[in-house]
């Protein structure tokens, strides 16, 4: 299995508002940048979309070291929250619906195809790859204004 690095970030001007996402795949000394956005979205949707888009770009099952500044994503996966939400009909508890079930469903499916290790990085703290993903995401959010 190939080992790939995936860096992701999402951005939103207003929440909700115009948003964008950026992802960078690294493999064998090469990099591929991906980005996109939406006119009316949330920051968490853009964070999730960045991860989904990066994993979806892989042409075969891979080991993936995934770097994100989204504690929402890291905690939902590593602490098993997303799996529990799905098992409970996309409910976080007896009263509250889980947000973004469509995207969580996609992400959980992709995690079944790849061996992904999640790494949290502090956002806007000078991490070069996180900063580049942020630039890609912000540029896309500005296009969607």
The token pair that represents 92 in the structure block = 């976080």
Q: Which of 5, 9, 96, 119 is catalytic?
A: 9
Q: Indicate if 102 belongs to the active site.
A: no
Q: Indicate if 9 belongs to the active site.
A: yes
CB-based burial label for 121 (10 Å; 0-12, 13-18, 19+): middle
CA distances from 120 to 49, 90, 130, 139 (A): 17, 24, 10, 23
Q: Which of 65, 69, 126, 142 is catalytic?
A: 69
Q: Indicate if 127 belongs to the active site.
A: no
Q: Which of 20, 60, 134, 142 is catalytic?
A: 134
Q: Indicate if 47 belongs to the active site.
A: yes
Q: Which of 14, 115, 124, 142 is catalytic?
A: 124
Q: Indicate if 40 belongs to the active site.
A: no
Q: Which of 20, 36, 47, 54 is catalytic?
A: 47
Q: Indicate if 65 belongs to the active site.
A: no
Q: Which of 10, 19, 22, 54 is catalytic?
A: 10
In whole angstroms, give the CA distance from residue 74 to residue 51. 11
The token pair that represents 60 in the structure block = 């075969």
Residues with catalytic function: 9-10, 47, 69, 124, 134
């Amino acid at each position: 299995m190939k080992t790939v690095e995936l860096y992701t970030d999402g951005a939103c001007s207003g929440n909700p508002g115009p948003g964008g996402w950026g992802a960078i795949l690294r493999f064998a000394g090469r990099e591929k940048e991906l980005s996109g956005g939406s006119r009316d979205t949330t920051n968490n949707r853009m964070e999730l979309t960045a991860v989904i888009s990066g994993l979806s770009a892989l042409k075969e099952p891979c080991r993936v070291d995934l770097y994100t500044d989204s504690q929402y994503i890291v905690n939902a996966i590593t602490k098993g929250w997303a799996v529990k939400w799905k098992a409970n009909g996309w409910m976080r508890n007896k009263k509250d619906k889980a947000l973004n079930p469509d995207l969580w469903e996609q992400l959980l499916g992709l995690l079944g195809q790849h061996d992904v290790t999640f790494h949290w990085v502090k956002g806007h703290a000078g991490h070069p790859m996180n900063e580049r993903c942020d630039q890609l995401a912000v540029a896309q959010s500005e296009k969607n204004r």
